[in-house]
Structure 1
Amino acid sequence: MTPAPPVTVSEPREPASVDTDLLDRLPADLAAVVGLRFGLLCEDGVGLTIQEVADRLGLTRWQVRDREGRGLSRLREGLARVTRRAPQGEPIPRSSIGRAFDC
């Protein structure tokens, strides 16, 4: 049995402009929650917990979860529209995906 490769820890990433461009497409309340939860609006790039976002925005935990879900749904819908317009390449062979994703 071969030993597992060493784990490397990367530095927090700089928020990319594409991340904030995506947030600009959301209503302000949804963008604030998604941006804070995933670190897109944080200087260190580290997301906040639901409780931290709730405290910062004066919301309940339920309101944060609801807005996060609605925001992510809207982002998924927008990305789905973009990918439908994108040129389609060769499909990835199922064997190269790995057993963890076999359904």
Structure 2
Amino acid sequence: MRMTDIAFNTVAWSEVEPTRHAGEAGHALWRTRTFGPADNPIRVRLVDYSPGYVSDHWCSKGHVLFCLEGELETTLADGRVFMLTPGMSYQVADNAEAHRSRAPKGARLFIVD
């Protein structure tokens, strides 16, 4: 990720229209903004997972993910499981370790990818 060609600006996340993404169970609401040039966009999201959310896919995209509220359980393809609670984060590179998430109690996350 190269952070270039991004002017200083602020985001009022409550004013960003959410998009709904169904999971295998539950859903995610994404409030998304994209910054930077077209050949190197940086996606920034405020994501709310409903209680009982289970991802419907294995993800290989790199992220910096910060847990704001709730609990996020992330399983890696090798079977390791990590639980994030408020104030915790994870970082993973593109195509480094496939991961899949669940939010038994729901979660609010801030994600940059």
**TM-score between the two structures when normalised by the length of structure 1:** 0.25
Larger gyration radius, structure 1 or structure 2: 1
